[in-house]
A and B are shown apart, each in its own frame.
Chain A
Amino acid sequence: MGNLFPRWTNLLPVKILVCLGALGTAVVALAWYSWTPKFTRVGYMPQQPIPFDHSVHAGQLGLDCRYCHTFVENSPHSNIPAAQVCWNCHGPGKVKSDSVKLEPLRQAMDTNSENYTGKPIPWVQVHETPDYAYFNHSVHVNRGVSCVECHGRVDEMPVVYHAKTLSMSFCLDCHRNVDEHLRPLDEVTNLAWEAKDEDANEFYAKIAGKGGKAEELKEADADKTWDEKLLGAHLQKSWNVNPPTDCAACHR
């Protein structure tokens, strides 16, 4: 009886294993790279019905975020403005009211327009939390977490895109190191704010005004660098901010 398996088959199992190993590694590496919000969400820049330019409105004109997103301080959901808010400035006889780009606005608002439908402008949501995660805007902005922490420099974006991952680890990183992300309440909508903009004496005066021990703090801070972390740590202490990190905080 001759050899059933020729000589070259001796190495076949090893070769198959090596190939499978290489294939597996490649699949894992590609999944690692692409199957994460860093890849799937960051950079999402949908086309909006009206090419609304945040860099003009919030940047150049310096409109406060809350002119349009009015209920961000009161509501878990930061609202997209009603068409009436656009109409306040872009109504008939006002700013750029004849612009072709504003046609969807006229359809929603202008009863004299031939295309009037009265339907809301179908804005496309860019940042969308999964439905199994609870997020409340108002608790964050009322405790010194700026818009910029999650949405990036929207005041520099001609077209809004998804700038941060908003993944679970993104939330947890901030909840665990909250002192790096807090700022005075009147600077929450100032996206360009930096700790060096804050006057140290005014800051201590505010703390003293709230009943804090400003003098002691000032002495203790004398040889520390005046940065976001130091300010944030003071604010965290004075507001008693203890962000939850248990599962039920968001998955409720």
Chain B
Amino acid sequence: MRWFFLVLALAIVTFVVALGPRGAKFSDPPFELFPDMDRQYKFKSQKPSHFFEDGRASRKPVDGTIPMGYSAPLNKEDGVPTSALDFSYGEGYYNTGLFGDYFGSGYPEELTLDQALLERGKQRFQINCTPCHGESGNGQGIVSKYWLIPPTANLQSDLVKALPEGQLFWTITHGKGLMGPYKGTINVQDRWAIVAYLRALQKTSATTAAN
């Protein structure tokens, strides 16, 4: 009996030492007792898949189809190159910022210009644009404080102020120079909201300077 308790104590100590304390950092996948319940044979967002050739469970839309909630795809006559990833972009000024081959100015009629749009634009601007262009759009974002990369466009400059709205929209969509395209992360409505907010920013900075 004495021996039994000695062995038991030793076993417990070994186990506790092997297990370690709660919350300790580890890198092996967490233990799951019934993995078939936890990880069922179904596809979840952004998960890998052995079934498809490219190894992704998330599928691109089949050629010639449009996902729910998206507008019809762009055709090549509009002047903007179509790629497989362009499926979320319909035709017309609202979706491209272009009239034929030219940048349009003014806002598309699909858009209601109101306080809510500006608020939305402010929020999206601060999420997506401030890291490089700065809170006021002056091109002095946080990135410029740490890295010497070629200067970011000053959105308060006369050059940008003179650009038509359609071109600002197009630039957010497709990027320009070092700026990457944001068509995959900002939806069409939000891009117009950012354009509207940027215009408001430029106006307020002009009045404060004049005053």
A residues near B (Cβ < 8 Å) are 15, 18-19, 22-23, 26, 30, 33-35, 38-47, 61-64, 66-67, 70, 75-77, 79-82, 84-85, 87-89, 91, 93-96, 119-120, 122, 130-132, 161-162, 186
Contact = CB atoms under 8 A, between A and B. Distances in A.
Interface residues of B, number: 52
Interface of B: 1, 4-5, 8, 11-12, 15-16, 19, 22-27, 29-33, 37-40, 42, 44-46, 48, 54-56, 123, 126-128, 131-132, 142-143, 146-147, 149-150, 178-182, 184-186
A93 B150 contact: yes
Interface of B is mostly: loop
Contacts, number: 113
B131 A67 contact: yes
Given A61-B142, A64-B126, A67-B128, A120 B56 contact: yes
A30 B12 contact: yes
B40 A39 contact: no
A189 to B, nearest CB: 8
A80 B56 CA distance: 14
Given A62-B142, A79-B45, A131-B37, A43 B23 contact: yes
A45 B26 CA distance: 6
Contact of A95 (B30, B31, B38, B143): B143
Contacts of B56: 120
A40 B15 CA distance: 15
A162 B31 CA distance: 14
| Residue among B19, B30, B123, B132 with max Cβ neighbours from chain A (10 Å) | B30
| Residue among A40, A75, A80 with max Cβ neighbours from chain B (10 Å) | A40
Top 7 A-B pairs ranked by shortest CB distance? Answer: A88-B180, A77-B45, A131-B40, A130-B38, A64-B127, A70-B185, A45-B25
Given A46-B29, A94-B149, A130 B12 contact: no
B26 A44 contact: yes
A131 B42 contact: yes
A95 B149 contact: yes
Contacts of A89: 131-132, 143, 180
Given A88-B180, A88-B182, A131-B42, 20 more contacts: A18-B1, A19-B4, A38-B23, A40-B31, A40-B32, A43-B23, A43-B24, A44-B26, A62-B142, A64-B127, A67-B131, A75-B45, A79-B45, A85-B184, A91-B178, A93-B178, A94-B178, A131-B37, A131-B40, A132-B40
